[in-house]
Structure 1
Amino acid sequence: MMEKKYFKTQSIFLLEFLYEFYFYLQIVSVLRSIHQKYKDLDGLIKKNCNIMSKKLTKELIKMERIIRVNENYVADFNTIFGWPLFLFLCSSLTNVLGCINVSLVQYYSTKFAFDSRKISIQCVFALVYLTSLLVIVNLCDKIEKATDKVAKLCYSYQENFAAFPNVREELFILARCAKNHKPSFTAGFYTFNRPTLTSLLVIVNLCDKIEKATDKVAKLCYSYQENFAAFPNVREELFILARCAKNHKPSFTAGFYTFNRPTLVGLLAGTISYTIIIVQFNINKN
């Protein structure tokens, strides 16, 4: 068992951890219930389409309402948990860095005796934060893709109802309804799903390419103007177009920072530098 002294010094951190764990359980339970509603909808489609009930058209109309209700559930989730989820994301990443810091200080410190238990505890905390974050992202991603699965089911079953145009038309309507009412987890300015984390590099690269597109336009204008030496008006317009492209260069920003490749490189460099500085600082102390 851990010493009582550890609980006294880390009481605030442990209390914060327990609160975040409770919040995590709430989030996961709500997300699982929403995901189950979409799974039940898949089961209803398969059941009714395989039985070929006489009331199939009415059942499909009911399913359209279920899709709209499920979308409202996600909208309510965003209203209640959107900002807390964003703060949980920031807190998780910050706590992971904090756990790394404490572990390295404990490992390299000569002032305090080496305590493998404390280092192990910090590593466990870091893994818990990362795992909880991945579980939430995975659930959000599954729910967002659930409507695509519904649409695919409708398109696959409509072939069996060639002799029933009304049912077939309702299946197409249900598929369109599923696509048009696709849920999205957001806190008002960002979408919380797997691509939010995994596609960050791609997004930054695209932003960087778009910002450089006007430079490419300007270069094209300067290269083509030589071909219009006999047409001064056209040549002048090419120069004007080049200046316009340079003066109206797009920039991705949130009002206080620019979102491009250097932004991401700076964040990654800052994280790596933080880890290296902590290691070197503790080595030099020894």
Structure 2
Amino acid sequence: MNVRATLWWMITLACVVGVGCGTDQEQDADPVVVEDQGPPYAPEWDGSEPLGGERAARVVLPQSYSVERRWPLVIALHGFSSSPGWVDGFLGLSAMVDDREFIAVLPPGTVGAGNFSFWNATDACCDFGDSGVDDAAYLSALIDEATERLAVDPERIYFMGHSNGGFMSYRMACELSDRIRAVAVVAGSVAADPEVCQPNEPVSVLHVHGDEDEVIPYEGGALSGERFPGAEEVAARWASLQGCEEAVAGDAIDAVLGLTGAETEVQRWQGCQPGASVELWSMRGAEHNPTLSTVGKRAMVDFLLEQR
């Protein structure tokens, strides 16, 4: 029973037994205070009824999962024509839920034109069959359901996305900035019109992109005649939205297997508004689907989990 329903029930019971309800006794009585009941924070999870209804999402819990504490939630979105299983392996989430102590949820996109799965994120990407599916509503409802049925920390909800899933992660950050704490995007972009995204709360952003990406080019491009901005413009936009001042170089990261040395250059913005961080990781020599190193995967997840 939620707080509003609990209050209604207590007031109704008081009327039945003749206490309150407009009497002098009500005016003299102390107000009813409903305290946080604390743990358990959710029912026990058995997985028999999946999250997401007909678009069932995969749920990965750490072995130490308990409803007696709250857990960070990472929702990961796959790319166009891809799947939850693929993006799980690409980002390495199932392998990290235990030592990083978070819940991973991996939902599926809609199967559309050409039998390819997609997210309807922006004009450019990737509802090529003009289905008009409302993925923002689906994902918003998925957050609601996850926080009701799992012991999720509502202050630590994060999105990760690759390619089309990155576009969709950014859209969710724009539209649900009051609920999403941070996003990490690999090889994605945002809507061409900067006015489309006006978050009203701080959202931290990590943008990761290969400079030899030929699918979603580092410099930006177009899909179906609709433009999308490049990696540096995306990061600069978010830095402006978060009130950041200037970018400084961080330590390079060896984030991609098969490339020599620490190929990933890091830019980190300074002076952002409280609660916001913006970083751009440029993977020099990397293509659209790079094989990420364990170091790179963990660094991305750690960026998210550090945003509280």
Work out whether the TM-score is over 0.5: no
Query: Which structure: larger Rg?
Result: 1
TM-score range, shorter chain: under 0.3
TM-score of the superposed pair, with normalisation by structure 2: 0.22
Greater relative contact order, per chain length (Cα 8 Å cut-off, separation 6+): 1
Comparing both structures, which one devotes a greater share of its residues to helix? Answer: 1
